[in-house]
C-alpha cells in the first residue's frame, strides 16, 4: 500500500475522515480517494467534500455504527453549518463489487448529510445499489486523487459507456420531480449530464453550464447562467419569480439529455 499523499490544500475534514476510516477499517482498507468538485475545479461555497473508500471485506454492523457516529461529528450540516464545516459525503465500496461491477453499482457504506435525520434516529446505513453510484464510479475513475492506495485507474473499474447512459436514463425521472425546491442543482445536473453524454467527459457543474449555455436559446441560457452564478457565489434566489422560464429551461435540458442517450 502506498504512503498517503499530503496536499497543503486539504480541508481539515479530509484528514479527520481519513483517520476515522483507517482506525475502523485498517485490516480491510484498500484505498481512500478524494473526488468531485474539490478535485475537478476546487470547492465552491456550498460544495460537499466527496470521498470514496475501497475495502476488501464487508463492514460489520458495529463498525457501521462507529463510522456514522464519528463522521456525523465532523461533517457540516446542510445547507449551513454553525461551525462553517463542509458537508461530507463518504462512499465505501467492496472490492469484489467493483470487480464484478453489477448494474446498478453497489455501495457497501454511504454517509451523506441528507441522511443525518435518519442517523440521529438510530438508523444504520446498509449496502445500497443505485444508478447514481454507477455515474459516480465512472467520474471518480477519471478524476479521483488517492490519499491512501493506488491510483484510481488501477483500482476503480472502467464503467462501460452503455452503463453510464443507462444510469442517467434511469435517474432522469427522479431528478425532474425534484426541480421544485432544488432548482439550481437540478439545472446544473442536467447540464452536466448533457455535456457528459455529448462529449464523453466529466466536468464540474459550472464548466458544464458554460458549455450548455452556448447551445441554448437566450432566455434559457440566462436561466442556466443564474444557476451557475449562484453555485459559484454561494447565493440563492427566489425561483418563483421566473417559473415559466425555469421550467422551459429544465425541459430543454431534459430533451437534450434524452436526445443523447
pTM for the model stands at: 0.91
**Are the beta carbons of 230 and 242 closer than 8 angstroms?**
no
**pLDDT value at residue 228:** 96
> d(Cα 224, Cα 187) in Å, to the nearest integer?
7
**pLDDT value at residue 99:** 98
Structural domains in the chain, sorted by start: 12-159 (3.30.460), 162-260 (no CATH)
Over the stretch 146-171, which tens digit does the pLDDT of each residue have?
999 999 999 999 999 999 999 999 99
Over the stretch 196-237, which tens digit does the pLDDT of each residue have?
999 999 999 999 999 999 999 999 999 999 999 999 998 999
Please list the residues that pair with 33 across neighbouring strands. Answer: 52, 146
Q: Which of 77, 128, 98, 114 is nearest to 33 (CA)?
A: 98
pLDDT greater than 80 at residue 8: no
Provide the 3-class DSSP secondary structure of residue 107.
Answer: strand
Residues with active-site annotation: 89
All three cell numbers of 236, joined, read 440563492
Ramachandran quadrant class, 42 (left: phi over 0; alpha: psi -120 to 50; beta: rest): left
| pLDDT band for position 46 (cuts 50, 70, 90) | low
3-state helix, strand, coil in the chain (%, to 5): 55, 10, 35
**pLDDT value at residue 12:** 83
Amino acid at each position: 500500500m502506498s504512503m498517503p499523499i499530503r496536499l497543503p490544500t486539504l480541508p481539515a475534514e479530509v484528514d479527520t475522515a481519513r483517520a476515522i476510516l483507517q482506525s475502523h477499517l485498517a485490516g480491510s482498507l484498500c484505498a481512500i480517494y478524494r473526488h468531485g468538485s474539490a478535485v475537478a475545479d476546487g470547492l465552491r461555497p456550498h460544495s460537499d467534500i466527496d470521498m470514496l473508500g475501497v475495502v476488501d471485506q464487508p463492514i460489520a454492523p458495529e463498525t457501521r455504527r462507529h463510522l456514522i457516529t464519528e463522521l456525523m461529528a465532523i461533517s457540516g450540516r446542510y445547507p449551513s453549518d454553525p461551525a462553517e464545516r463542509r458537508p461530507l459525503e463518504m462512499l465505501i465500496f467492496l472490492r469484489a463489487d467493483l470487480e464484478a461491477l453489477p448494474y446498478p453499482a453497489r455501495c457497501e457504506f454511504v454517509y451523506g448529510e441528507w441522511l443525518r435525520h435518519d442517523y440521529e434516529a438510530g438508523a444504520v446505513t446498509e449496502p445500497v445499489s443505485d444508478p447514481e453510484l454507477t455515474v459516480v464510479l465512472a467520474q471518480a475513475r477519471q478524476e479521483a486523487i488517492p490519499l491512501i492506495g493506488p491510483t484510481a485507474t488501477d483500482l476503480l473499474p472502467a464503467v462501460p459507456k452503455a452503463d453510464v447512459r443507462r444510469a442517467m436514463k434511469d435517474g432522469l425521472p427522479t431528478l425532474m420531480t425534484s426541480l421544485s425546491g432544488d432548482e439550481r442543482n437540478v439545472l446544473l445536473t442536467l447540464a452536466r449530464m448533457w455535456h457528459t453524454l455529448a462529449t464523453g467527459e466529466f466536468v464540474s457543474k459550472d464548466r458544464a453550464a458554460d458549455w450548455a449555455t452556448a447551445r441554448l436559446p437566450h432566455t434559457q441560457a440566462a436561466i442556466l447562467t443564474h444557476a451557475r452564478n449562484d453555485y459559484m457565489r454561494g447565493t440563492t434566489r427566489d425561483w418563483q419569480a421566473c417559473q415559466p422560464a425555469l421550467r422551459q429551461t429544465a425541459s430543454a435540458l431534459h430533451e437534450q439529455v434524452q436526445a443523447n442517450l
